[in-house]
Chain A
Amino acid sequence: MSRSPIRDLLVGVFVLSGLVALAYLSIQLGGATYSGPGGLTLYASFDEIGGLAARSPVVIGGVKVGQVKKIELAHDGSFRARVTMDVDRGLKLPDDTQAAVLTQGVLGNQYVGLSPGGSDTMLAEGGEITYTQSAVVIERLIGKFIQNIGNGEREKKSKGGDGP
């Protein structure tokens, strides 16, 4: 077949747009390069992380500043969950910052919320966030609630028996 400039141009456009789509999928959605150089690695240990997973967002006051990189059981025998987080390098976090596992809405995804403290020393690369607050597990909450209702009624009954 002979060389046709328009056909070649169309093939070029097709290949380039396909590559752009692939790049969008892998970089923007897949997050292939998010944890590249430039991220600040922080650690935090929790008693309970609920449904937190790798790639869950790390948030300060509702603004996403990073993501969870890895979750493992702590090696020091405390059976706590050790969460490795990757946050923006420019972030200056005091070393008394608190980390909490929170939920978006009642059934939403879980994320790590950071609330900066007032200390003058800042967390450095590989720093450990010591003040942590565990995830609220909704089943336990409901269990406690039901138990409390039961106790309340028993109290009421026993009071009723004592009364005149």
Chain B
Amino acid sequence: MFELVRNVGWRTVDNVHGLGGITLFGSRLVLETLAPPYRLRRIVDELYNTGVLSLAIVCASGTAVGLVLGLQGYNTLVRFGAEQSMGAVVGLSLVRELGPVLTALLVTGRAGSAVAAEIGAMVATEQLDGLRMMSVDPIDFVTQPKALALVLSMPLLSALFIVFGLFGGYLVGVGLLGVDAGTYISSLENNIDFRNDVLGSLLKSLVFGALVGLISTWRGYTSAPTSAGVSRATTGAVVQASVATLMFDYVITALWGVGV
């Protein structure tokens, strides 16, 4: 009985400890980003790793999602004789939800896991300790550029995802199903609002970028210095970042307002 209560207590303390740890780590990241030196060189390198290398998968997935949305949207709308609203259906679902969320999930799988694994391997091979020996702060030198690159590349990748998705919807709607091209485009332009939709989408992808960057660098940085520890860190980073993305998506949608 006492054992059970003690167990609950220990788990609570452990979780709160972890939460405090990641908060401190996050504020260190923000501090190092704002304070010089800025390490532009390192950030460009990391932008290549997270942004450029995720480009192909994001564009391909965006087009595929747009194609499917076009097909599904058309089949539903045609029952009500409202095919001319297809641009609105494809555009609003891409801009508001699918663009930022799916991009965040893809980038988590493609780049977040790589970041966690790389930092975890550096912990396991004592490279971070080596940096500390030379009085180079590993948070400033290793983790901060990676996290910042994820934050910066997320909105850009999300915007590309959305544009490719709109193109995919156009291909199916106009090319395959015979919706008028002008109707598709004007339905898009008339129904997407700058503040409600585009700014909300941008805010979402920035928050998701911060979440993915924070969680994957944190999991890598605190991984146990063994091969099993690295694999746990990678899995944990992907799972936690994905779940956090989906949960924060609801919170942001509720707070930002869905609009009319």
A residues near B, CB below 8 A? 1, 3, 7-8, 10-11, 13-15, 17-19, 21-22, 24-26, 28-32, 53, 55-57, 64, 104-109
Please, which residue of chain A has its CB at the minimum distance from the CB of B44?
A11
Q: In the complex, A29→B155 CA distance in Å?
A: 17
Binding site for A on B (CB under 8 A): 41-42, 44-45, 47-48, 51-52, 55, 80-82, 84-85, 91, 95, 153, 155-157, 159-160, 162-163, 186-194, 197-199, 201-202, 260
Whether B84 lies near A104 (C-beta < 8 A) is: yes
Q: Which one, B82, B160, B186, contacts A107 given CB within 8 A?
A: B82
Q: For A55, list chain B residues within 8 Å (CB).
A: 190-191, 193
Name the residue among B85, B153, B157, B192 with the largest chain A CB count within 10 angstroms.
Answer: B192
With contact pairs A55-B190, A107-B81 given, residues A14 and B47 touching in the complex (Cβ less than 8 Å): yes
Contact across chains for A25 and B48 when beta carbons are under 8 A apart: no
Which of B48, B85, B155, B188 is the most central at the interface, judged by chain A CB atoms within 10 Å of its CB? B48
What is the predominant secondary structure among interface residues of chain B facing chain A? Answer: helix
Cα A18 to Cα B201 in complex, Å, equals 14
Considering the chains assembled together, what is the distance between the CA atoms of A3 and B42 in angstroms?
10
- Min C-beta distance of A55 to chain B, whole Å: 6
Given contact pairs A18-B159, A21-B156, A21-B162, A107 touches B80 in the complex (Cβ within 8 A): yes
Query: Given the known A-B contacts A7-B48, A11-B51, A26-B198, are A57 and B156 also in contact in the complex, defined by CB atoms under 8 Å?
Result: no
